[in-house]
Structure 1
Amino acid sequence: MEVQLYIYDLSQPSLKQSNAIQGLARQFSRTLTGIHIDAIYHTAVVFNNVEYFFGQGIHKKVPGSTHHGRPMKVVSLGKTDLPLDVVHEYIESLEQIYTPESYDLFLHNCNNFTQDLAMFLVGKSIPDEIRSLPETFLNTPIGQMLRSQIDESMRTMTQAPDAVAGQNASCTQPAGQKSSNAVHKDIQTSSIARGPTHKFATPTIINAQPPTDNPGHVHNITTLSELDSLLSSTSHSCAVVFFTSATCPPCKIVYPTYDDLASEAGTLSGAKLIKIDISACPSAHAVAQRYSIRATPTFITFLRGQKQDEWAGANPAQLRGNVQLLLQMAKPPQHQHSKLRLPTFQRVIETPILYTKTPPLEKLLAKLDKAFSDDKSVQGLVSYIKTRDAKGMTEAALPDLHAFSDHIASQFTSLPGENLFAAIDLVRVATVDPRVASFLTAEHEHRTLSTLFNTVQISQGDFANAPYNIQSVTLQLACNLFSSNIFQEQIFDLRSSSSSSSTSNLKEKIEVIAAQCLLSQHLNSRSMAAALIYNLASWTHNARIYAHNFPPLSIEAPAQEGGAVSDDLAAALLESTSSLATLSPPASPTPSGGGNLKDTLHALLLTLGVLLYSAPAEDMLWDLGPAMELKDVLKELGKREDCKGEKLLKEVGEELLGKGGF
């Protein structure tokens, strides 16, 4: 798929005029500022017959149809092999950064957006003269003097409604999710380096919001095949069949009520309200004969595929009462855990656990080989992190991530073993930005992530005994990948076009890292491993909660368990929890990574509760928990001075394991 850069000159007297007309910037810039400015650039990225640009938010138009008219120049940036759904997910993540309010002509404009998108698609920067123009202008005396006036005046062109006028391009994008709070206690206590924590846009679990319900409608049919098809689709819900006739005046009395009930039932209920005019045609009359209909109006209801009730007569109150009762009966039964006292788990997981602290970067670079850290791509990444932490993402343009990936691929394995953690931590800090995490996720064969994860020798099974700094930064990096919706889509395996063998391998590596660190001698490593499993289990937990309210077939069915963690990983979590009872309280002062037993217990129980809540009877945990005498282990832990007051001992030990088993 070819990617093009459309370049416009905002200083043209009329954007619709020929490019042969010399722009005002070119004519008067030297007189006014003392330097030559060729144009006031506006840029857009075009691919798949869609023009993307930033103004009043991110816009998608048919190329060349906007108020900006014809571009003064079109530059081919190359080709991208990224799937469209991955690209759309990435653009969606940029919407949190490129908001209408964040627009600044000099610091955060259309060219910053095209730079980010171009780097992601093809790994190429837009021309330097375009990127550097704001700085060039601001370095002049008149630039500083007139900055605010020029910014304000140009907004009428870049953000006014007519500035984005044009034909909207058709493209499918996944709906974004919004959230306001999290269900987890802060268990991010294990960052190995102290430093500033910048407030980033809060990422969400991609199913943090329930599926959107839309008003239902009455299905007007005339044939047996249509009726059979609709009834078959309600095997997990209900249906109402209304037999009417054009010559039946009483029928018209209940038409408005029936229409209202169909709308109120919505689409997520799976209910079908069907109307058959038996006088319309012979096929409709045949439907009436099947059910021996002798008068109209007659209503027949079905519950989960079986006939439930039948009555006749035009009584709106009776109709409303009977249909509302049917809809209540069709709702799926509540899971027995909904009746337990489990406030921590009886809610949706809205945000993943991330590790956002930035260590002192100069100290981090000092731990790396000088030849490695002096590379231009590494210095560019460090400069980006500093700008991001100081000024926010809106003023931090992405560095050359492709060059950094090349550097990691060629040089990382040659670093001394004691320096590996510093390079991984640098990537960990960068992936707090969903743009960076999305880039790493979309890389072919996950090149950078595979290099980092393969080098820590997890395949030999000795990662549980690896140095604490290696364990911690690797786990934190894996957690931070959840800042990207692209990563979540792939790791939860929700889209076949985004799924691949490399994705399966990546998920397997992440699970192996978590499983081995669950048995680490470092308590903080166990806490972070639990945090990673918590993120991995979040999608399934949310789907199970929604399944309490909607028939399984009306949402992405939890039975698919696309986001469920493996049995081996769940078993390792149980083993890690059980083995806590055999550990002695850590020495004081605690060694690096020694951690706090109570905090580690909290992290493990939080994740275990997420796995257990609403888990089906056949889930392996219900058999393995009693076999490992986990309930008794938790009871003994509750008696220890260093674990007293941990509320999840009651929720998981007494409620879930004591009353919630099958």
Structure 2
Amino acid sequence: MSSPVQLYVYDLSNGLAKQLSLQLTGKQIDGIWHTSVVVFGQEIFYGQGICITRPGQSHHGKPLQIVDMGETALDQETFNEYLQEMRSHYTADKYHLLEFNCNSFTNDCVGFLTGGSIPSWISDLPSDFLSTPFGAALRPTIDNMYRRPVPGAAPTPATVQPSAQAAAAAAAASPNPQLAASLLQAVASQAMANGFPSASTNGTSTPSTQTVASPIHICTNTASFHNVLKTHKAVIAFFTSETCPPCRMIEPLFEQLAWNRTKTSGAGGGAGVAFIKVDLGVGMGNAVAGEYGVRVTPTFIFFKDGQKTHELKGADKAEFTSQVDLLLWESFPPHAHTKLTLPALNKVSTKPILFTQVPALDTVSTKLGSFIDASASSISQAPVVKQILTTEFIGYLKGRFSSDSKAQQPSPNQTLLMKWTEATKTLLNALPPPQLFPLTDMWRLALLDEVVSNWCASSAGTPSDPIQAILVKALATLSNPDAQASARPYLLTTLRLFSNAFSNDSLARSILSSKRTTVTTLLVSSLLHTDASVRTAAASLTFNVAAFLQKGRVEAVKEKYGPFAESEEEAEWEVEMVSAVLEAIANEVQSEDIVHRLTASLAFLLRFSPVHETQIAPLLDVLQAKNTLRAKLEKGGCGEEGVRNPEVRNLIQQVSDKLC
């Protein structure tokens, strides 16, 4: 008689990950998943060793989601024997939040019971997190939370109760300390409540969790092993055993390569590289070894696209490193553009174009105040709003940015920023766009203050997000052709505001994740505006977007492998951006400066694009990109004589000849 098997899914962050992850990491992470297996009327999970309770009666309460994993033909006695065997493997002192956790255990149990595996959105969470800059920065902190004492040493406070110290270290590593502290504290609290490990009681160490290594897949059954093969392009499997001295010699190198190579090869999400450890004495590890004819340890087997490509026996460190690099080079060959010589493009700085001019702030205050007074009847608490913006906000700008200020005023605190945001939103709802440009220009200048831009990054997607409100108003203006002429100053200052947002990496990352679609709409429309100053500001923002992407891609290709495929949504966005930039270049016949910025933007979008061969190159042919660029060099292409600046001409020629 078969029995149903279910997976109970809980969120250790209690919703904080879903709310804050995009601002912190640039990637949406919907939860810090804890899972347990429910079968034979029991809920089984791994934390302080293997724990068993009645379904739904653990301290986590009601599961966030219940996933049906099928049925098992095994009886309860056989499963209990399996659990008893696994207790010596899934001990409290081996727990690690990233690489050996409750989800590792439930994946093994599901594999044993049904032959299946837990969903990839759960099992791949550590790799997804570590693939972000924020996750990589926090890796050492998380490792320290689970570092084991040396033999005979007394437990340290950090080992016994890591939550406070871990949260403090996380805050220091985060682009937004307050949010990082909130998220890490929440997870740590849940972790301690779940009985996460204290010091090892026998004083022994666990090498696999002592090093700063990447998440290593630990497989104890054939189902979990085959799932990793299926979901990763390149796999390195390490067959080992507790009693094998050569295994212990080469294990640190295996862990070091696992961290370095998964980090540089875009592991996770089903397209990266996985390092698997199979202990022949644990669970059904011997069956996994038997499937591939492994009889001695250490043995390393290399897989590409699920197929075995090479086998290495013994602890030859040099040969092992060489074979890992060969597999990854074959699986993830370097981008074709790494072979191109582009001296003119290399001279183009990727520093953002910023609008740093300080306006006559008294004039700004007077003008904004007159607009408020004229519409006071339609503005809620108009005197208060006026005082906040024309006295407090302007006062801060004077003290922070005016050259005649005797001492630089400190950055505003969160309370002030919230007041300014609420007053800003009140005016955005009450005043027409032609009267809002002084307000937008104030925020344009304020974003040059790192504290302000960090706060805007942290508030992205929340009601406290001021630049989202400004953006929505600008898009509404663009959708009304009759209002565009009078609203030109507002549109211009909005574009300059978003250009200045790229002075801060955290805010830039937030914009390209949470506001990418709306900012792209703003760009595409503004690049074709009839006013040259608006087009110049739009070209500057386009350059900042492309340059920010370029910096990340250059870092990727500095390593041997990558960059790797983007999501379908990202690829579609890149196609839209390339099309818009080419159209803007074709239409620009007045300003050589605009052509220069747009050509550099195009080059940054094309160079090292993960979808260049599959989607961008065919698009360039259809749009006749080469002819569009070369036309700028001819008479009438841009000015009467075409582009004259030698550096700009060289850039146009190289982009058209080598990237198009």
| Alignment TM class, shorter chain as reference | 0.5 to 0.7
The structure-2 alpha-carbon separation of the partners of 1:386 and 1:361, relative to structure 1 and needing over 3 Å to count, comes to same
Is the 2:230–2:305 Cα contact (8 Å) retained in structure 1? no
Count of residues in Structure 1 that have an aligned counterpart in Structure 2: 442
Counterpart in 1 of 2:388? 377
Counterpart in 1 of 2:304? 303
Counterpart in 2 of 1:513? 522
Q: Write the mapping of 1:100-249 to structure 2, written as runs, cut at 5 A.
A: 167-168=164-165, 170=167, 175-176=173-174, 214-216=212-214, 222-233=220-231, 235-242=232-239, 246=243
SS in 1 for 2:309: strand
CA distance in 2, matches of 1:363, 1:337: 50
TM-score between both structures, scaled by the size of structure 2:
0.55
CA distance in 2, matches of 1:170, 1:357: 39
Is the 1:573–1:608 Cα contact (8 Å) retained in structure 2? yes
Partner amino acid for 2:225?
Answer: L
CA distance in 2, matches of 1:486, 1:465: 33
The structure-2 alpha-carbon separation of the partners of 1:462 and 1:337, relative to structure 1 and needing over 3 Å to count, comes to farther
CA distance in 1, matches of 2:353, 2:491: 17
Counterpart in 2 of 1:525? 534
CA distance in 2, matches of 1:341, 1:634: 22
Partner amino acid for 2:596?
Answer: H
Counterpart in 2 of 1:361? 361
CA distance in 1, matches of 2:540, 2:412: 28
Is the 2:220–2:282 Cα contact (8 Å) retained in structure 1? yes
The structure-2 alpha-carbon separation of the partners of 1:282 and 1:450, relative to structure 1 and needing over 3 Å to count, comes to closer
Identity percentage of aligned residues: 22
Is the 1:377–1:400 Cα contact (8 Å) retained in structure 2? no
1:574 is displaced (CA, Å) by: 1.5
Partner amino acid for 2:608?
Answer: S
Is the 1:518–1:576 Cα contact (8 Å) retained in structure 2? yes
Is the 1:238–1:301 Cα contact (8 Å) retained in structure 2? yes
CA distance in 2, matches of 1:284, 1:490: 43
CA distance in 2, matches of 1:244, 1:372: 76
Q: Are 1:457 and 2:477 an aligned pair? A: yes
Is the 1:432–1:483 Cα contact (8 Å) retained in structure 2? yes
CA distance in 2, matches of 1:604, 1:289: 59
Counterpart in 2 of 1:474? 494
Is the 1:349–1:541 Cα contact (8 Å) retained in structure 2? no
Partner amino acid for 2:307?
Answer: Q
Q: Are 1:430 and 2:430 an aligned pair? A: no
1:354 is displaced (CA, Å) by: 2.9
Any unmatched runs of 5+ in structure 2?
A: 1-12, 26-162, 177-210, 268-272, 374-382
1 or 2, which has the higher helix percentage? 2
Partner amino acid for 1:289?
Answer: G
TM-score between both structures, scaled by the size of structure 1:
0.54
Alpha carbon RMSD of aligned pairs, Å?
4.8
SS in 1 for 2:301: strand
Is the 2:626–2:657 Cα contact (8 Å) retained in structure 1? no
1:384 is displaced (CA, Å) by: 0.7
CA distance in 2, matches of 1:546, 1:86: 21
Counterpart in 2 of 1:658? 657
1:529 is displaced (CA, Å) by: 0.2
Counterpart in 1 of 2:398? 386
1:607 is displaced (CA, Å) by: 1.4
Is the 2:495–2:541 Cα contact (8 Å) retained in structure 1? yes
Structure 1, residues 515-566: CA drift from partner, whole Å, max 9, x if none?
Answer: 23212344332221012223334554455445546799x9996336559746
Counterpart in 2 of 1:600? 594
1:406 is displaced (CA, Å) by: 4.6
Aligned equivalent of 1:631, options 629, 632, 640: 629
Counterpart in 2 of 1:444? 463
Is the 2:238–2:300 Cα contact (8 Å) retained in structure 1? yes
Counterpart in 1 of 2:292? 291
CA distance in 2, matches of 1:634, 1:645: 12
Structure 1, residues 196-255: CA drift from partner, whole Å, max 9, x if none?
Answer: xxxxxxxxxxxxxxxxx954587775533343344345x322314446794xxxx64465
Q: Write the mapping of 1:552-591 to structure 2, written as runs, cut at 5 A.
A: 558-559=566-567, 562=570, 565=573, 567-581=575-589, 583=590
Is the 1:613–1:656 Cα contact (8 Å) retained in structure 2? no
Is the 1:369–1:419 Cα contact (8 Å) retained in structure 2? no
